[in-house]
Amino acid sequence: MNAPSYQKDLGLLILRIGIGAMFVLHGLPKLMGGPDGWEGLAQFGLPFLPEGMISIAFGFAAMATELAGGLLLALGKFHRIVCASLAGVMLVAFTSKISGVSGIGDFAKTAGWPLELLIVFVALFFIGPGRYALGKKS
């Protein structure tokens, strides 16, 4: 049996607001970390980057993607750009955590979260924001 379209759109709205709010909450402490924190964030995810302004810029971009991307995801604005950007951040997070996996039993605890969110963002990219997005005509 097919669910009415408003139920699917309401489900997308709940998903967008919930995941978006969580990313705003993840981005806020990184914002407060300032340039030193942004550099550390970049060095953790992309350890091959040289220290200094390049690392700070990449760390700032990751923080801004989480913070602004979370807000825009919740609102349903620039949906595909936001989902692609957040998927990129989660891909970097996943690749930085996968080396810490000590076995199949440890995978979910160590690297599962960014992989799960990567899958969510790729799926949302293709599904779209749904009817209940800021600026959408119902």
Is 70 exceeded by the pLDDT of residue 91? yes
Task: Please check whether residue 100 lies inside any domain of the structure.
Answer: yes
Task: Please check whether residue 59 lies inside any domain of the structure.
Answer: yes
Domain boundaries, position 79: 5-127
Residue 131 DSSP class: S
pTM of the entire structure?
0.89
pLDDT band for position 137 (cuts 50, 70, 90): low
Task: Please check whether residue 135 lies inside any domain of the structure.
Answer: no
Name the percent of the chain lying above pLDDT 90: 72
Residue 125 contacts residue 80 (beta carbons within 8 Å): yes
Task: Please check whether residue 40 lies inside any domain of the structure.
Answer: yes
Number of domains the chain is built from: 1
Residue 85: exposed, middle, or buried by beta-carbon count in 10 A (0-12, 13-18, 19+)?
A: buried
